[in-house]
Amino acid sequence: MVNSKWLEMNNLKACIFDLDGVIVDTAKYHYLAWKVIAQKLNFDFTEIDNERLKGVSRMESLDILLSIGNINLSQSEKEKIAEQKNNLYIEYINNIKPDEILPGAKEFVESVRLKGFLTALGSASKNSKIVLEKLNLFPLFDVIIDGNSVINTKPNPEVFLKAAAALNILPNHCIVFEDAEAGIEAAKAAGMKCIGIGSPETLKEADMVVSGLDKMDVNDLKIK
């Protein structure tokens, strides 16, 4: 359970990783982009406000942002602003460097692959492929399922179920690494085990919680 030294699983075959907050911290770039949008709309958007956007799609994030600013816009206006935000975000991530990979993330993904497990990325981001290419991590994932591949966002399990299907692995033979409550809920709904990356207080529904992948060892995944 939470904070145990290892997590026991039946016939584990695949590891599915979220991107933001697990492999790399691009949340800061999302925050900076949303902050610029909020300033243009004449209200402030704080880091505390930004916590509400973790694991949430772009349009849902915009709705939350507008509710904070008490602003109502038409759907066409929302789509224009969402595009502006994405353009800002892409400007930021085009300058992302491999040294921004979170501690231990690359090493852990490499270790699970060496152990024979398949790997997938399961992210709400529509820019995940750009980020992986910039970080030289693209070859470490057998399958990439992101915001371009799904209709429903977390906590809906679609992203993880599609990842399992693309890997040709049953959901109960997969484990998910997630930093957001919505992602953990999605993993559970998919019938998968989930390791939370972050705080045990926030991620209490996870089967196990560590502060980062640098605290994980492939041997922590005990196969029955």
Report the amino acid identity of residue 104.
G
Give the chain's residues under pLDDT 70: 1-5, 223-224
Considering the four listed CATH numbers 3.40.50.1000, 3.40.50.10540, 3.40.50.410, 3.40.50.620, the one that applies to the domain covering 7-25+98-223 is 3.40.50.1000
Q: Which pair of structure tokens corresponds to residue 103?
A: 């501690």
146 given a catalytic annotation: no
Out of 18, 146, 179, 207, the active site residue is 18
Q: Which helix (H) or strand (E) covers residue 196, if one does?
A: strand 193-197
Q: Which pair of structure tokens corresponds to residue 17?
A: 């990783």
20 given a catalytic annotation: yes
Write down the pLDDT at residue 2: 45
Burial class of residue 148 (count of CB atoms within 10 Å of its CB; 0-12, 13-18, 19+): exposed
What superfamily would CATH give domain 27-93?
A: Putative phosphatase; domain 2 (1.10.150.240)
Domain boundaries for CATH 1.10.150.240 within the chain: 27-93
Nearest to 120 by CA among 205, 178, 37, 198: 178
Write down the pLDDT at residue 128: 93
How far apart CA 177 and CA 208 sit, in angstroms, is 10
Write down the pLDDT at residue 99: 94
Write down the pLDDT at residue 141: 98
Out of 20, 146, 179, 207, the active site residue is 20
